[in-house]
């Protein structure tokens, strides 16, 4: 088993220091065009982050068991060397892109990820607003394990990706020089990702690299000032409600559904999906029924 550091744990002091620096910067140099900080919002984000550590430890038990089984069954092995580690970090970032994109376009996955988008602020504490139901993430990295990447390496590269993304949750950094903006995920790109305007919805899914978005048609540059949050905000600072509100909304929609086809659509279609009859009746089809950010898709009536 490769001995790799817990980069998230080692980065906690830096998280705290940078957050304090950002808070102080808003005190010393206020910016009327930035969202800044709100005590209740920041406290909720920190609480969600601490809760995610507890729940991630629970979900890790069955996930590690599944990964370990796959790793034992595959005859392939990727050695842990400095150059293979770089390649595995690149591979993890690629699969992270598809995991992130999937968690925006499939509603049951969005129910997990919506937590991270539920703040109307955008600052370094927003990076800590993590979901408590990350059991939906592990399938996206199965190909890496099947190709012989040790599960501990998956954990390490995922941690590196998570740590990198901390600093992109800020309005205090403007656009960087063009070479960086072209290759890397930056605060400018990630502000677009967290915005709720129609032209910005479901864009810029990259973790470390933005090249995946450029390659697969999901990139949008920052032009107008972003408005953060959901298309229909949940207006609560209760961590339990923040963590579960979309699952509750899915359950309500399933109970109100008229058919099994509609029930399946409520779970596996896009977050804003509605059956054709209800979509026609809706005044604002852009907004989903429960704080969704994705545009509604309409089911065509059966022939």
Give a yes or no: residue 262 inside a domain: no
pLDDT of residue 292: 52
Evaluate whether residue 45 is within a structural domain: yes
Question: Does residue 234 sit within a domain?
Answer: no
pLDDT in 10s for each residue of the chain, 303 residues: 778 999 999 999 999 999 999 999 999 988 887 888 999 999 999 999 999 999 999 999 999 999 999 999 999 999 999 999 999 999 999 999 999 999 999 999 999 999 999 999 999 999 999 999 999 999 999 999 999 999 999 999 999 999 999 999 999 999 999 999 999 999 999 999 999 998 999 999 999 999 999 999 999 999 999 999 999 999 999 999 999 999 999 999 999 999 999 999 999 999 989 987 666 555 554 444 344 554 444 443 333
107 occurs within a structural domain: yes
Q: CA 215 → CA 37, 78, 179, 204, 220, distances in Å?
A: 35, 27, 16, 11, 12
**Are the C-beta atoms of 86 and 157 separated by less than 8 Å?**
no
pLDDT of residue 111: 98
Classify residue 274 by its DSSP letter. Answer: B
Residue 221 lies in a domain: no
Sign of the CA dihedral with 168 first, then 241, 268, and 142 last: positive
Range list of H helices, the chain: 7-28, 39-73, 82-105, 107-113, 142-146, 151-166, 178-183, 187-194, 211-216, 239-256, 260-268, 276-281
Examine residue 73 and state whether it is found in any structural domain, yes or no: yes
Whole-model pTM: value is: 0.90
Return the pLDDT at 280: 57
> In degrees, to the nearest 5, what angle opens at C-alpha 47 toward C-alphas 44 and 53?
145
Domain total of the chain: 1
Asked if the structure places residue 58 within a domain, the reply is yes
What CA–CA distance (Å, rounded) separates 130 from 46?
A: 9
- 199 within domain boundaries: yes
Q: Domain range spanning residue 156?
A: 7-21+36-216
């Amino acid at each position: 088993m490769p001995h790799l550091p817990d980069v998230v744990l080692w980065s906690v002091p830096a998280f705290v220091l940078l957050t304090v620096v950002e808070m102080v910067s808003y005190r010393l140099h206020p910016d009327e065009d930035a969202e800044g900080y709100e005590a209740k919002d920041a406290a909720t984000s920190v609480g969600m982050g601490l809760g995610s550590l507890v729940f991630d430890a629970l979900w890790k038990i069955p996930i590690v068991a599944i990964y370990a089984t796959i790793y034992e069954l595959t005859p392939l092995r990727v050695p842990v060397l400095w150059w293979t580690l770089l390649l595995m970090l690149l591979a993890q970032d690629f699969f992270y892109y598809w995991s992130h994109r999937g968690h925006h376009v499939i509603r049951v996955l969005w129910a997990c990820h919506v937590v991270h988008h539920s703040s109307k602020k955008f600052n370094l504490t927003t990076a800590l607003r993590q979901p408590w139901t990350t059991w939906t993430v592990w399938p996206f990295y199965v190909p890496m394990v099947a190709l012989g990447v040790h599960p501990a390496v998956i954990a390490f590269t995922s941690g590196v990706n998570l740590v990198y993304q901390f600093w992109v949750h800020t309005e205090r950094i403007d656009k960087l020089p063009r070479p960086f903006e072209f290759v890397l995920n930056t605060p400018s790109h990630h502000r677009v990702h967290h915005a709720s305007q129609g032209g910005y919805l479901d864009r810029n899914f990259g973790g470390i690299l933005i090249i995946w978005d450029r390659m697969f048609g999901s990139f949008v540059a920052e032009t107008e000032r972003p408005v953060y949050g959901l298309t229909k905000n949940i207006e609560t600072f209760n961590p339990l409600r923040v963590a579960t509100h979309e699952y509750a909304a899915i359950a309500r929609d399933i109970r109100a559904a008229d058919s099994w086809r509609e029930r399946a659509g409520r779970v596996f279609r896009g977050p804003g999906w509605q059956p054709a009859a209800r979509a026609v009746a809706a005044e604002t089809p852009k907004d989903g029924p429960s704080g969704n950010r994705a545009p509604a898709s309409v089911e065509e009536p059966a022939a």
